[in-house]
Amino acid sequence: MAGTLFTLGGDNSAASNLVAQTVSSLGYAAEVLPNGAHRLSRGNKTKTFWLGALSGDDFHVAFVIAYGTDPSGNLTVRVDRDGGASFLKGGAIGVSKTDTAYGQLVDAIGGAASNAGIYVGSGPAA
């Protein structure tokens, strides 16, 4: 899995809510996983299964967001993706569609945090 780690300042609850509102505005539904992380998904799994990358705007994509705190008490938001699953769903075009959706998601979170004045930094997730 490759991902991005954001560090957000201010009130952690408010920052977490901002992330949730941002991903929701992009059309993602969230499912809480047993480890506390959230699986975000949008698109139609059935249509993607049968049509792959040809499912157009209904191409199913999924990412995982995990929340934590850094040593300073700032909220950390890790956004992960799985390129292998997107290849199985739609070949090279599926990987491209997933990469595009991932870029939009990461840009939206970073932009919303910047606009709210709580963006501390981001980088590749270890």
- Give the C-alpha separation, 8 to 111, whole Å: 12
Residue 24 CA, distance from chain mean position: 11
Q: Which residues contact 71 (CB under 8 A, 6 or more apart)?
A: none
The two tokens of residue 18 are 């901002």
pLDDT of residue 126: 78
Q: How many CB atoms lie within 10 A of CB 95?
A: 18
pTM of the full structure: 0.89
Per-residue pLDDT of the chain (126 residues; tens, 9 = 90+): 579 999 999 999 999 999 999 999 999 999 999 999 999 999 888 887 787 777 888 888 999 999 999 999 999 999 998 655 655 666 777 788 888 999 999 999 999 999 999 999 999 987
- Give the C-alpha separation, 2 to 69, whole Å: 20
pLDDT of residue 110: 97
Task: Let me know: does 80 contact 2? Beta carbons within 8 Å.
Answer: yes
Q: How many CB atoms lie within 10 A of CB 28?
A: 21
